[in-house]
Amino acid sequence: MSSYLPVLYETQLSSSDWEALRAAVAALERQSFAARIARLAGRKVGLVSKPLPPQVKDMATAAAQKALETALNVALTSLEGAPKGDSTRKHKRLAALAGGIGGAVGLASLPFELPLSTTIMLRSIADIARNEGENLREPETGLACLEVFALGGHMEDNVLEGGYLAMRGLLAKSVSDAARFVAARGLTQQNAPVIIRLLSQFSTRFGVVVSQKIAAQAVPIIGGISGAAINLAFTEHFQTLARGHFTIRRLERVYDPGMVRAHYARIARDEGYWDPPGGA
C-alpha cells in the first residue's frame, strides 16, 4: 500500500492531462451511489442510516459474490472480442432493462438479475478501458476492469483521507498476485486461494453498493422510481468510476505513477473531497 501513498513532486503534467486528472479525481471521489440516488429522488435519502435486515444483507453479499464470479470469467476470457468504441448508452439501456425486469419480480430476482446487470456493466467498463489505451488481452487489464466494482463502496460522500488511492493500495497485492496466477495457469483453478481472496475483497466492497441499491428500492420516498431508473443510476455510477480509474492508469503509464498520485491527492484535498481523520 505504501507505493500508493503520495509524496511531494514538483514535476507538472501537461495542461490537458491536468484537466483529465481533475476530472478523474471528481469521478472517483465526488459522489457516492447514495448521493446519486438522493439526486434522483430530489432529496436526501438515508440509505445507510437504517441497516438492512441481516437476511437481506446476507442475500446482497451472496449476490455480489456470485455476480463477480460470473464477471471474472467474462473479464478474463471474452472481453477482447467486445465491440470497439464507446457503447455506454447501449449498456445503460440493457442494464436498465435488467433492473426493470428484476424490479417487477422483487428481491427474489436479485441472485439472477445482479450477475446479468454486472456482466453488462463489465462490457461497458471494458470499452472505457480500451478507449484509455488498455490492452484487453492482458489478464491484469481484465482484473482492473473487475476492480472497478470494488471502488464504489464508500458509504457516503467526503470519504476519509486517501479515498481511491488508499483503496487501490489495499487491493494492489491481491490484484497483482491474481494477474500473475492467471497469466501462468489461466482460469482453470477458480477455487485457488489467490482467486478466492481477490473475489472476497472485491465482493465485500461491491456488496456495499448492492445493499444501497436494495435499500433504495425499499425506501417509500422513492418508491415511485422504477427499478429500471435505479439500475440506470447503478450503471452510471460504475461507468463514472471506470472513466476515472482508467484515466489514472493511462496517466500512470505516461508519467511517474508516484507523481500522478501526488497530484491526485493535492486535487482531492484542495477540492474538499477528502475529510481529514477526525475531521468534520
CA-nearest of 48, 274, 17, 235 to 123 is 235
* Domain total in the chain: 1
The per-residue pLDDT for range 219-265, each reduced to its tens digit, is 665 555 566 778 888 889 999 999 999 999 999 999 999 999 999 99
How large a percentage of the chain has pLDDT more than 90? Answer: 44
DSSP 47-75: TTTSPPPHHHHHHHHHHHHHHHHHHHHHH
Which of 39-53, 69-83, 247-261 is most confident? Answer: 247-261
Domain assignment present for 25: yes
Contacts of 103 (CB under 8 A, 6+ apart): 217, 226, 227, 228, 230, 231
Range of the domain at 170: 2-41+51-275
The per-residue pLDDT for range 179-210, each reduced to its tens digit, is 999 999 887 777 899 999 999 999 999 998 99
What confidence tier does 1 reach under pLDDT thresholds 50, 70, 90?
very low
Domain assignment present for 280: no
